[in-house]
């Protein structure tokens, strides 16, 4: 564990609390892509199989994984049951097969060993890299977002961005790197660059998040 | 065989 990974994880944790806070206080999941949230459940469910089949890492690791699994399922429940009337599927139109198909193929090609657990682990890494796309696509379509939604996205983006110095640190201290996680993580962070730019230049200056026409 | 590095991350 190093400081970059710890702050990254805390940022990930914060993003989920921000999202829950947004849904609970506004009693609405307006502006949140159900597809992206469903992809995160898929990501956690396929990666955290290692809770059952993998080696024990640490109590921290187990608790965080259980939290991410539980909270992401709870968010789906809020969107599909409790606050269903506020969820508008007609603007959440990104085609999931464009993500699931390529991620499946990539996972079958690039994995540590050709076993179900390792293929699913790779699949979860690739899928996580692009899981935000339905959400960003929705933002693009509506052209604006509530401030709280942008704080959620910023915290979520910062999480993987902070993993990059963590991998650099690990490369120098452990002498190795993980090409699957690192390359997917760079792509994942790259997808946020446009968003980060508008977040920093507008939202953090107190302006509304609006995409340029 | 050691575990691949990122397997101990979240």
Of residues A9, A29, A41, A146, the one with CA closest to residue A83:
A29
pLDDT of residue B2: 62
Tell me the H-state helices in A2-115: 3-26, 34-47, 50-53, 59-77, 97-109
Q: How many other CB atoms are there within 10 angstroms of residue A69's CB atom?
A: 17
Q: pLDDT value at position B4?
A: 82
Selection from A180, A154, A152 nearest residue A167 by Cα = A180
Look at residue A212 in the predicted model and tell me its pLDDT.
82
Residue A44 token pair: 């956690």
Q: What is the tens place of the pLDDT at every residue in A77-127? A: 999 999 999 999 999 999 999 999 999 999 999 999 999 999 999 999 999
Compute the half-sphere exposure of residue A150: CA atoms within 13 Å on the CB side of its CA. Answer: 25
CA distance A39 to A57: 25
Q: Taking residues A51-65, report their average pLDDT.
A: 95
A130-141 average pLDDT score: 96
Instruction: Tell me how close the Cα of A47 comes to any Cα of chain B, in angstroms.
Output: 9
| Contact criterion met (CB below 8 Å) for A107 and A43 | no
Per-residue model confidence as pLDDT tens digits over A2-55: 999 999 999 999 999 999 999 999 999 999 999 999 999 999 999 999 999 988
As a whole number, mean pLDDT of residues A55-61 equals: 94
Mean pLDDT, chain A, rounded, equals 96
* Cβ atoms within 10 Å of A151's Cβ, excluding its own: 21
Tokens encoding A74: 């709870």
Candidates A129, A116, A144, A138; CA nearest to A209 is A144
Sequence ranges of the domains in chain A: 3-204
Interface residue ranges in chain A relative to chain B, Cβ cutoff 8 Å:
5, 9, 12, 50, 54-55, 57-58, 61, 64-65, 68, 112, 121, 125, 163, 166, 170, 174, 176-178, 180-182
Residue in A100, A107, A94 with CA at minimum distance from that of residue A184? A107
pLDDT per position as a tens digit, A145-188:
999 999 999 999 999 999 999 999 999 999 999 999 999 999 99
Complex ipTM: 0.89
The enclosing H or E element of A31 equals none
Q: Report whether pLDDT(B1) > 60.
A: no
């Amino acid at each position: 564990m190093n400081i970059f990974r710890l702050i990254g994880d805390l940022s990930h944790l914060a993003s989920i609390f921000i999202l829950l806070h947004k849904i609970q206080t506004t009693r609405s999941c307006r502006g949140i892509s159900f597809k992206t949230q469903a992809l995160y459940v898929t990501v956690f469910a396929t990666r955290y199989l290692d809770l059952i089949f993998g080696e024990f890492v640490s109590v921290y690791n187990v608790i965080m994984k259980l939290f991410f699994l539980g909270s992401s399922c709870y968010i789906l429940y809020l969107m599909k049951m409790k606050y269903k009337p506020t969820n508008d599927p007609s603007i959440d139109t990104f085609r999931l097969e464009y993500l699931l198909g390529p991620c499946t193929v990539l996972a079958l090609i690039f994995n540590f060993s050709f076993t179900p657990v390792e293929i699913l682990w790779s699949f979860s890494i690739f899928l996580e890299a692009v899981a935000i796309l339905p959400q960003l696509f929705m933002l693009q379509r509506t052209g604006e977002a509530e401030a709280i939604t942008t704080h959620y996205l910023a915290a979520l983006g910062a999480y993987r961005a902070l993993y990059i110095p963590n991998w650099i640190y690990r490369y120098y201290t452990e002498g190795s790197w993980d090409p699957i996680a690192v390359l997917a993580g760079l792509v994942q962070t790259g997808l946020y660059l446009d968003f980060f730019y508008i977040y920093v230049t507008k939202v953090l200056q107190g302006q509304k998040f609006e995409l340029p026409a | 065989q050691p575990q691949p590095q990122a397997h101990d991350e979240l």
